[in-house]
């Protein structure tokens, strides 16, 4: 992703995919893109995102730091007026999201959060889910590290 000022410009391949969407859907997916980019900037250890196409879908990965897993966005092919944010299905991310936000967000199996064009999104909940995805590997590595030895202080 090329950086311009405080915003990041679209990868040209991703821009072509965005241009192919109907205008209302394009606006919604561009909003998801903004949430992903803004959340990455605000999350410690994530670093810049690589923006690319995976399976023909706009995809975002903290490739430089390896802190997390890919987040993809796209329309639902068989359901006009619906779109989704996809996560790696072999992680426990969607299961975690579902436990934290059982009513705030709608889910598609173990791989996506689902959205409707005519409904508002709980952006605070979604940003938290995005942050969890972009820091997934970082958190798993931290959980595997042995605890630091405690320093005992003498009392006189």
Kindly report, residue by residue over 50-96, the tens digit of the pLDDT: 999 999 999 999 988 889 999 999 999 889 899 999 999 899 999 99
The pairs formed by 99-102 with CB atoms below 8 angstroms and a separation of 24 or more are 100/125, 100/128, 100/129, 101/125, 101/128, 101/129
Beta bridge partners of 73: 85
Mean pLDDT of 14-43: 96
Q: Determine the Cα–Cα distance for residues 109 and 98; give it in Å rounded to an integer.
A: 10
The pLDDT assigned to 140 comes to: 79
- Better pLDDT: 8 or 101: 101
Going along the chain from its start, the domains and CATH numbers come out as 2-141 (3.90.1150.200)
Count of H-run helices and E-run strands, the chain: 5, 8
Q: For residue 138, name the pLDDT band (cuts at 50, 70, 90).
A: confident
Question: Residue 5, CB half-sphere, CA atoms under 13 Å: how many?
Answer: 1
- Name the nearest CA neighbour of 3 among 29, 41, 46: 41
Measuring CA to CA, how many Å separate 7 from each of 32, 34, 70, 116? 14, 9, 20, 26
Query: Is the pLDDT at 6 greater than 90, yes or no?
Result: no
Query: Is the pLDDT at 4 greater than 60, yes or no?
Result: no
The pLDDT assigned to 3 comes to: 40
Kindly report, residue by residue over 105-123, the tens digit of the pLDDT: 999 999 999 999 999 999 9
């Amino acid at each position: 992703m090329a950086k311009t000022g405080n915003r990041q410009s679209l990868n040209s391949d991703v821009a072509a995919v965005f241009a192919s969407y109907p205008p209302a859907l394009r606006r919604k997916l561009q909003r998801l893109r903004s949430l992903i980019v803004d959340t990455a900037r605000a999350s410690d250890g994530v670093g810049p995102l690589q923006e690319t196409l995976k399976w023909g879908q706009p995809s975002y990965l903290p490739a430089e730091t390896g802190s997390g897993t890919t987040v993809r966005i796209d329309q639902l092919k068989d359901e006009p007026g619906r779109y989704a944010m996809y996560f790696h299905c072999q992680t426990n991310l969607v299961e975690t999201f579902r436990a934290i936000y059982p009513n705030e967000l709608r889910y598609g199996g173990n791989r996506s959060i689902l959205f409707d064009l005519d409904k508002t999104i709980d952006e605070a909940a979604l940003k938290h889910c995005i942050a969890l995805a972009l820091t997934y590997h970082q958190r798993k590595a931290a959980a595997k590290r042995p605890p630091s030895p405690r320093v005992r202080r003498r009392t006189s």
